[in-house]
Structure 1
Amino acid sequence: MVHYLRIPGGIGFFEAVTNNWESKNNNNLSLLIENIKLLQQLSSYITIVVISDETTFLAAFTKWSGRSFLLVWSTRILMVTRSHLSQLQNLHMALSKWNVMLLIITDDTSNIRCSVYVYLPYTGGDTPAQEVATWTPHTGLLLTSHLQFFPDKFSKLFHGPNLLVATEVNPFNKIISVTDPEGHRVNRVHFTGPVPKVVDFLSKALNFTYTYLRPPDGVWGVSVGNGSWSGMVGLVMREEVDIGAGPFSVERSRSKVVDFTVPILVDFWRILGVRGLPKVDPWGFLFPLSSLVWVAIMAALLLLAAAVFIMSSSFHHKRVGHSNYLHLFFNFIRILLQQDITGPTYWWERVILVVWMMVTLVLTRSYSGNLMALLAVRHISEPYQSLRDVVDDSSVKMIWEKDSGAGPILKLAESGIYREIAETEKVGRLVWRTHPQFAEAIDTLVRRGDHVLMEVDTAEKAYVAQDFTKTGECSFYQSREEFLQIMLAMIGPKNSPIVPALNKRIVSMTEAGLFFHWLKGDEPNTTTCYRTSSKITVNEALSLSNVW
């Protein structure tokens, strides 16, 4: 057989012998699959031919292969058996998900016939297998459908199945209607926003319809111990849904139980706070001149004092009773303050005073003009521009997303700023909220001024845009500091072939710029309040607060 097939990469033979395939501790079958996996590691693509007439063995092999992740899409499996197709219906769910074909041999005394079947994905147990080809000694191999051998069943879902998609309310998803059909096991909800448009794009590309399912706890998902997960991640892991729309932050812990698609967005976290009321800065009288100019004025006065002392000592060292040289120095200060002076006596005193008058004329005119302009400026406070600003201010509380990827980062941090943030929970300065609760928290807690929100930059822009659309004002600001870089993606069950199929479509979508186009179109005022100036000018009468 090896000589006839001439397989360049080689071939391996394995035999499984036992009398109890349904045993939970089948060491023979476990060792068999481990040996096959060792062979699998030597090649990028292998084909496994499973030959057996025992349906219990085929069921056990499929079950154990799924547990050990042998059934990945790149591995092709051909099951050869004499069993009737109706006896293999219990394998329908498993075989429909993987790159598996059935070759059923009918060996009668008068006729030999081989039929090749494929179970299509997301079809019910009562759906018959799709015949791909037949072979007889007289006719040879004949294709009986449009499908090829080992077809890419997930590139285009031929039956147009209805898939369950897990999602939850967030800035990318907004509920527009909720219905509860009688007798239906899930609540049908409709969403609008950039991510629902991604799901709609994928449904048309892969030929499926979809139904949204929200997690009962309303969270994205974290580990709750004993291998269980909450939220949408738990729904996908238990295969209660087919796809998790999210989008989800790509994390190592989650990647152990679900598969991530390629990212649809790379973003950073920022701080969202409320902008203060416009007010005049009480130290505004210092602003017309820069700090360097103030230093230069003081240095010039000291130099003038030194020059007067030297000149007085040089020209009048024998003079008795002449006015103190400090009297001339005080004239320089009187000129700077626009007061009158006593007339100088000597020519060098007049020269120095004239030069100093010209300098102070420029300074005083510039100062008065700038000060008048600054009286029209109102300053809006934006105090929290970094995590350090928030941690050091004991009067402010932080709102973080409950059961999100940020939680483990804070809890596992052993030092640094994130450890300090985690410690604030002990004194009640760290508040956890779910995404559906963010809108209310922003409108109440953050707007009140004693809370700030920690959220992804794109999501914060959406919240600010929604508030501007409602109020017509830029009431909130984002910090200049970015932290916790995050990649957002969709998820599928572990080793599910649907994920590579989604990846191909997501890559084409992001390369074409469609997601950012949908993101920008979803909130028309997204950039209106971005980097709003913290200074505004007014035209009004001089008030007591300005004078103070």
Structure 2
Amino acid sequence: MMSGVASLLLYLIVTVCLTVAQLPRPDGAGETLSVAGAAVAAVAATVWRPRCSVILLTDGTTSSTTVFTELGGLGAPWGVTVFQVAAEGKSPNMTEALLSRLVAQARRVRQVSWCVTVVVVSDDSAFLAASAEWIFKGRLLVWTNRLLAVTRRPLSHLRHLHTSFSMMNAMLLLLDDTSGYPRCSVYLFLPYSPPGASGVKVATWTHERGLQLTSPLQLFPDKFTRFVHRPQLVVAAEEFQPHVLVKATEAPGRSLSFAGPMAELLHLLANTLNFTYIFRRPPDGSWGAKQPDGTWTGMVGMVGRQEADLGLGPFGISATRAEMVDFTRPILIDYARIMAGRGRPEIDPWGFFLPLAPLVWVSILMALLVVFFANLLLYICSPPHDARNGLWLLNTIYDYLCVLLHQDVQQPLVWWWERLVLGGWLLMTLVLTQSYSGTLMSLLAVRYIPQPLQTLRDLLNEHSITMIWEANTAYVQYLKSAESGIFREVMDTEKAGRIMYVKSTEYTYMRDELVRLGTHVFLGEDLSGKVLMAQDFSNTGRCDFYASKEIFLPFMFCMIGQKNSPLLLSLNERIRSVTGAGLYGHWMSSTIPNSTSCVNAPTTITINTSLSLTNLWGMFVLLAGGHLLALVVLGLELLSVRNFYNRDPVKLFI
């Protein structure tokens, strides 16, 4: 590994330096890097760590002699890589293209180095601005790496560097040798400074005194630990219960404010980082999704276009959104469930079958066959046989059925074994029928609440149900990108009009006017469903909704920031402390009253009322069916007897 890194660095140095050697040396001897080389080395020495390297970027005005002379003075532990863009005679577009390729190559050096300090040397303010822009856009620097720009230009000519330098771990070294005695001043641009603010001088350098600090700030300080100025950040936010609640609507002279756990988290972050904030709601009221033309909607679009500094969210992390914004540490993990309306209590008219399980009914029939064959076997093995007619076995089965149905037995019992077998059957049927009657009385007082939609497959099979999703969320973005599987089947139902989209501000209407009727179901975050059910329970005292047993599409939720923003690093440290201490969970529990009241609501209820025909019509149907079957059998018997005697009329009078 070490040899590979060294060979790569050596390759870059040789290749680039050969190019530099062919460039003409500028007239005169007072090159910026040559005069300020000792100051650059002094600044760099304060931040050296093991395995650090330097990337030196010049604009073609530095001679090869100066480059090779000053390389040794830097004292980089892992060497120096030199890149040079000769901007003279080239158009701005050509310079931009060269810088983009240069940054791509320099990033390879950064990836194999533990830490990197980028030194940009130029007296051209346009080149400094372009190089800083590409270093930022090309992600050449992470916060642990540093940027030092060296120039003779006065600070008043470099105000356009404020935006890019304030958002990077960067400083500006200004060389002043007009008096014949070189003097260097080191400036720092603070993030979110007031308009018109200039850089803060943090150090000076002279040959006599060396490097001296002139400010409480250190060289390359962590500017985002706590802001010196108290900036006002723009935070994109929208109502998202239970995380974000609208506290006040926009009105003349009154700003918009939010409450809830995420608002508490933002307030804590603002106090510890020393910033204020204002809220802005997205025009379309959505979280944000990528459109077919490549544009972004909602809060993700606002933050990505730098219309807002932060997005409150919380937002589900996805690869598509990562193209537009950066995410903080996860605040929580949530998943989707189906929330549907609970059915009305129903009476099962066939409930008289329920006291005994199907296996018990089968066992009764099997026991009846067992006693039949036991009687047959004992009858054969008991000589001498009495003179009984051939219908004895059928009569025996009939007697046992009569006992099961609490009827009397008319056939006389001659043998002792007949009494023994019948006694055992009587004992079994006594216990069975008493258990049946007691359980039946209990079941007649039970009402069943149907909850049929427990999985996505159940939902797909119910073609009359419309699915409700929140518009432009990570869930919808993922479903639309699915190419196969059940999620693809779900999105295919959109063509049949079975999917509708709502905003988070329309949840209450959606719950009361659509889901409650049973014609629609809501598919969203588990916590959102709990809030909707808890609010309804607080208002009505009933559990009219239920959540599915199946969970799907787990997502990590967090805040979002602008791409490559170092502000997120400071937010991450504080978010980790908040979530690790359980504060967010505490805020959540205090925000959702009655949150567990309907989580495990019973699917059956017991009532105290008189029995009606609604409870018992199944029994009457069974009775009528039995009588009808008996009439059919009687008719068949009469018809068969009549045909028999029609063939032999003499028997009719015997």
Q: Does TM, scored on the shorter chain, surpass 0.5?
A: yes
Give yes or no for the alignment of 1:167 onto 2:217. Answer: no
Shift of 1:472: 1.7
Change beyond 3 A, Cα 1:226–1:23: farther
Give yes or no for the alignment of 1:18 onto 2:100. Answer: no
1:504-515 pair list within 5 angstroms: 504-515=573-584
Shift of 1:15: 2.0
- 2:400 alignment counterpart: 332
Shift of 1:20: 5.7
- 2:497 alignment counterpart: 428
- 1:101 alignment counterpart: 171
Give yes or no for the alignment of 1:200 onto 2:267. Answer: yes
Using the alignment, how far apart are the partners of 1:471 and 1:547 within structure 2?
32
Bigger shift: residues 347-356 or 293-302: 293-302
Change beyond 3 A, Cα 1:317–1:14: farther
Using the alignment, how far apart are the partners of 1:352 and 1:205 within structure 2?
87
- 1:278 alignment counterpart: 345
Match for residue 522 of structure 2 among 453, 461, 464: 453
- 1:76 alignment counterpart: 146
* Equivalent residues of 2:136, 2:168 under 8 A apart: no
Bigger shift: residues 213-222 or 421-430: 421-430
Match for residue 51 of structure 1 among 102, 112, 121: 121
Shift of 1:373: 1.4
Letter in 2 for 1:109: S
Shift of 1:483: 0.9
* Equivalent residues of 1:89, 1:125 under 8 A apart: no
User: Relative contact order: is structure 1 or structure 2 higher (C-alpha 8 Å, sep ≥ 6)?
Assistant: 1
Using the alignment, how far apart are the partners of 2:343 and 2:250 within structure 1?
42
Match for residue 221 of structure 2 among 151, 156, 159: 151
Change beyond 3 A, Cα 1:83–1:125: farther
User: What SS does structure 2 have at the residue aligned with 1:468?
Assistant: helix
- 2:428 alignment counterpart: 359
- 1:178 alignment counterpart: 249
Change beyond 3 A, Cα 1:304–1:440: same
- 2:289 alignment counterpart: 222
Letter in 2 for 1:35: Q
Shift of 1:423: 1.9
* Equivalent residues of 1:308, 1:329 under 8 A apart: no
Tell me how many residue pairs correspond in the alignment: 544
Shift of 1:430: 1.3
Change beyond 3 A, Cα 1:35–1:412: closer
Computing the radius of gyration from Cα coordinates, the structure with the larger value is 2
Shift of 1:317: 7.8
- 2:137 alignment counterpart: 67
Match for residue 541 of structure 1 among 610, 615, 619: 610
Shift of 1:119: 0.8
Letter in 1 for 2:408: D
Change beyond 3 A, Cα 1:440–1:21: farther
Using the alignment, how far apart are the partners of 1:20 and 1:235 within structure 2?
39
How big is each residue's C-alpha offset from its partner over 1:422-477, in whole Å with a ceiling of 9 and x where there is no partner?
22112211112122222211110101111000011011101111111122211111
Bigger shift: residues 536-545 or 518-527: 536-545
Using the alignment, how far apart are the partners of 2:488 and 2:398 within structure 1?
58
Using the alignment, how far apart are the partners of 2:101 and 2:486 within structure 1?
49
Structure whose residues are more often helix by fraction? 2
Letter in 2 for 1:494: K
How big is each residue's C-alpha offset from its partner over 1:315-366, in whole Å with a ceiling of 9 and x where there is no partner?
2585443452121122221111111112422111110111111111111111
Normalising by structure 1, what TM-score?
0.95
Q: CA RMSD in A?
A: 1.8
Gaps spanning 5+ residues in structure 1: where?
none
Identical-residue share of aligned pairs (%): 43
Shift of 1:67: 2.9
* Equivalent residues of 1:18, 1:28 under 8 A apart: no
User: What SS does structure 2 have at the residue aligned with 1:525?
Assistant: coil
Using the alignment, how far apart are the partners of 2:105 and 2:271 within structure 1?
41
User: What SS does structure 1 have at the residue aligned with 2:381?
Assistant: helix
Match for residue 203 of structure 2 among 123, 133, 136: 133
Match for residue 114 of structure 1 among 167, 170, 184: 184
Gaps spanning 5+ residues in structure 2: where?
1-69, 618-654
1:213-252 pair list within 5 angstroms: 213-252=280-319
Shift of 1:180: 4.5
Using the alignment, how far apart are the partners of 1:152 and 1:383 within structure 2?
57
- 2:100 alignment counterpart: 30
- 2:64 alignment counterpart: none
Shift of 1:291: 2.7
Using the alignment, how far apart are the partners of 1:306 and 1:329 within structure 2?
10
Using the alignment, how far apart are the partners of 1:401 and 1:131 within structure 2?
51
- 1:321 alignment counterpart: 388
Shift of 1:165: 0.6
Using the alignment, how far apart are the partners of 1:298 and 1:398 within structure 2?
47
- 2:374 alignment counterpart: 307
Bigger shift: residues 196-205 or 26-35: 26-35
Using the alignment, how far apart are the partners of 2:101 and 2:246 within structure 1?
50
How big is each residue's C-alpha offset from its partner over 1:188-214, in whole Å with a ceiling of 9 and x where there is no partner?
311111111111121122211111111
Bigger shift: residues 409-418 or 393-402: 409-418
* Equivalent residues of 2:349, 2:616 under 8 A apart: no
Using the alignment, how far apart are the partners of 2:122 and 2:293 within structure 1?
37
Change beyond 3 A, Cα 1:57–1:352: same
Using the alignment, how far apart are the partners of 2:383 and 2:346 within structure 1?
55
Using the alignment, how far apart are the partners of 2:287 and 2:293 within structure 1?
18
* Equivalent residues of 1:17, 1:28 under 8 A apart: no
User: What SS does structure 2 have at the residue aligned with 1:224?
Assistant: coil
- 1:85 alignment counterpart: 155
1:439-478 pair list within 5 angstroms: 439-478=508-547
